[in-house]
Amino acid sequence: MSKDKKLPGIDTTDHVAKGGLLNRRLFLTSSIASTAALATASAAYGEDIIGEGQDDWTIYPGTDALEYSDRSRFEVENVKRFIPNFPQKFLDLRLTKYVARTPLDHLLGTITPNGLHFERSHQGIPDIDPDKHFLVIHGMVKNPLKYDIDALENYTTVSRHHYLECSGNSQVLFQETPTDQPIQQIHGLVSGTEWTGVLLSTLLDECGISPDAKWIIAEGADNGMMTRSIPIDKALDDTMIAIRQNGERIRPSQGYPMRLYTPGYEGNTSVKWLRSLYVSDRPVMSAQETAKYTDMMPDNKALQFSLEQDVKSIITRPSNTMSLKKKGLYEITGLAWSGKGKISRVEVSVDGGQTWGDAALEGPIHTKMLTRFRIPWMWEGGSAILQSRAYDEFGRIQPTRKELIDARGRNAFYHFHAVQSWGVSPNGEIKNVYA
Amino acid sequence: MSMRKTLIIASLLLPTQHLLFSQLANAQQSRFGEPATQKDIDKSFWSVFPDGEFLPEGEGNVATGRVLFKEQCNICHNMPGESDPVKDDIGKLFGVTDKKGKPNVEQTIGSYWPYSSTVFNYIRRAMPLLAPMSLTNSDYYSLTAYLLHENGVIPEDAVMNKDTLPKVEMPNKDGFIMAYPKVPEQYEVKR
């Protein structure tokens, strides 16, 4: 498709940055589908039965409704979470396959289907009988209380759209050489959900917390009893005891029957299978907040309790599991989020950050939630480097990889949130590159 | 009928609805929690603090810990001097002095962990992998003593209990910087 060719209803000369980035309103006012040639079938007016040429699914009755519906069988093979192969020796030792990554390149919108939500456990997924599980709140409180799932369901719940991201997401990009792992492996430890639960402030109020309380220590009921310390300000702000994801009870892999959920904080603090909240005046210094989940800085000091996540974005389409088959009009789309608040702006560059154009943000924009952005791009067939850069409502701007590493080095391991660069070669292949 | 439904119906039957909705909001805040007994708490709460609070009775030593480690831990973790690559992948527990690690699994108790209490706290709740909490508190003190000793933190004849363990100073105790509520200026990403 050349620049001169007219597309009906589309002004492909309205450039907003170099390299073919077009005005974001283009896709809002016209349908790209209209450029495709529609096959026109010539009607048959003979004596033939009229179903000639129809597909089986049109002329045969379909299957029965299922009590819990399945995806199309044509999706199952391609759209699935990524679980790394464990060496047999690990499996022999009964180490659990503890991580599954969301296929971001196969999803649109901002809600992750429950079966595709990323997960990370430390010693496997417990099979908890909800009738035998309760949460106890104790420590610096007037009344130590316990709550089972039926008690929690009795409260006025809140339902909020929020993302959850593992603080180890994208960590492979700290490496010196750009990885050729697909986007799902690099960035698939982030998902978006409508979480429903009871605000923790409600329960803490009921228990009567001491004015000297500074932290709460959350412990899970899983093998290994995951433990994290949460600042009391966060506990009294938007932290909830989540009991539902996208309407249904949270999945066992997400903490069934109840989990702590700390919007915008590193994922590990949203302790799953929550069983104990100890109200304290100090953090407990668990293994998961000292030995792990601490960020090594260039001076060999490690940042501890780097809880609130930074502003971040990634282009999910096109990305490195795809290739551009021919020159022409493409939509660049992706996800942006901030652990502090709402996304206010996303810019896209196709020339490696030389020039930028504003992407359209798809609303409603929720605080601490994935926000989808999109911008049209006319690819003329040359080399390109696709990047997105997000801003949040507090003026935070997503840094370049160089800026991040200049400040924090390459050993931080956690909290990689810099700009992702997808390199497009003249033959349309797309690779992860550093730019 | 749930308490909430009862309240909603009650509010519809009474005339001063505006006032009642605020009362209803207050009522909904209340009181579905049941009193937690000490038994409930003991079952659910296993944390131990750096100053030793909640450390249990019991006592352990390095020699006993060495035997327990061989029996309970060596299936997944190398003993000092061993170098099974699978076990090293699971996690080196000894012999790393560079706290930077590569990747972070190679930060060990001696090179990285800032508090001795964390060692006891973690292994008691999480280890052995297939049977956490299958040992006695004294066994966990012994394993803690052994791990601290092999990491060069305490001598061979040290005894670990609720009084001695919190007094153990870790080599990297000053290696951490609090990033809450704010990342210190010098680590902020400049744009």
Handedness of CA A223, A226, A227, A232 (dihedral sign): negative
**A416-420: average pLDDT:** 98
Residue A172: HSE in the Cβ half-sphere, 13 Å Cα cutoff:
15
Task: Give the separation between CA A246 and CA A194, rounded to whole angstroms.
Answer: 5
Tell me: the pLDDT tens digits for B77-89? 999 999 999 898 8
Paired strand residues for A276: A136, A219
Angle value at C-alpha B117, between B113 and B121, nearest 5 degrees: 100
Pick the closest to residue A419 from A346, A360, A326 (CA basis). A346
Task: Give the separation between CA B183 and CA A305, rounded to whole angstroms.
Answer: 9
Task: Map out the domains of chain B with their CATH numbers.
Answer: 1-33 (no CATH), 42-167 (1.10.760.10)
Size of interface A-B (CB pairs under 8 A): 189
Cis peptide before B184 (omega within 30 of 0): no
Cα A51 from chain centroid?
A: 45
* Residue in chain A lying closest to B32 (CA): A151
Mean pLDDT of chain A: 93
Tell me: the pLDDT tens digits for B47-73? 999 999 999 999 999 999 999 999 999
DSSP letter, residue A4: T
Question: How does residue B102 score in pLDDT terms, banded at 50, 70 and 90?
Answer: low
Q: Which CATH class is domain A312-433?
A: mainly beta
β pairing state of A384-392 and A343-349: antiparallel
What radius of gyration, in Å, describes the C-alpha atoms of chain B? 25
Handedness of CA B124, B125, B128, B134 (dihedral sign): positive
Pick the closest to residue A411 from A130, A174, A88, A131 (CA basis). A174
DSSP letter, residue A398: P
Query: Residues, chain B, total?
Result: 191
Task: Give CATH 3.90.420.10 domain extents, chain A.
Answer: 130-293
Pick the closest to residue A390 from A320, A330, A332, A310 (CA basis). A310
Tell me: the pLDDT tens digits for A2-41? 344 445 455 678 888 888 898 887 665 544 443 333 334 4
Residue B24 has pLDDT above 50, yes or no: no
Question: How does residue A47 score in pLDDT terms, banded at 50, 70 and 90?
Answer: confident
**A238-242: average pLDDT:** 98
CB-neighbour burial class of residue A266 (10 A; exposed 0-12, middle 13-18, buried 19+): buried
pLDDT over 90, % of chain A: 85
Hey, what are A269's tokens? 């603090």
H-only helix segments in A60-207: 73-76, 88-92, 149-153, 183-187, 200-207
State whether residue A312 is helix, strand or coil.
strand
Q: Which residues, numbered 19 to 48 in chain B, qualify as contacts with chain A under a Cβ-Cβ cut-off of 8 Å?
A: 28-36, 40-41, 44-48
Cα B49 from chain centroid?
A: 9
Indicate the helix (H) or strand (E) that contains B24. helix B17-29
User: Helix B17-29 vs helix A200-207: angle between axes, to the nearest 10 degrees?
Assistant: 80
Contacts of A411 in chain B (CB under 8 A): 100-102, 104
Pick the closest to residue A333 from A383, A377, A391 (CA basis). A377
Hey, what are A317's tokens? 């389409």
Contact B175 A300 (CB under 8 A): yes
Task: Give the separation between CA A313 and CA A347, rounded to whole angstroms.
Answer: 10
Q: Is B176 on the interface with A (CB under 8 A)?
A: yes
Question: How does residue B107 score in pLDDT terms, banded at 50, 70 and 90?
Answer: confident
Task: Give CATH 2.60.40.650 domain extents, chain A.
Answer: 312-433
Task: Give the separation between CA B163 and CA A339, rounded to whole angstroms.
Answer: 41
Paired strand residues for A160: A195
* Residue in chain B lying closest to A282 (CA): B49
Tell me: the pLDDT tens digits for A266-311? 999 999 999 999 999 999 999 999 999 999 999 999 999 999 999 9
**Per-residue b or e along A160-174, where b marks 16 or more CB atoms closer than 10 Å to that residue's CB:** bbbbbbbbbbbbbbb
Give B130's contacts (C-beta < 8 A, 6+ positions apart).
A94
* Residue in chain B lying closest to A153 (CA): B32
Question: How does residue B101 score in pLDDT terms, banded at 50, 70 and 90?
Answer: low
Contacts of B39 in chain A (CB under 8 A): none
**B107-123: average pLDDT:** 95
Residue A89 has what pLDDT?
Answer: 87
A130-293 is classed CATH 2.30.40.10: no
Measure CB to CB from residue B47 to each of A207, A278, A304 and give the nearest one: A278
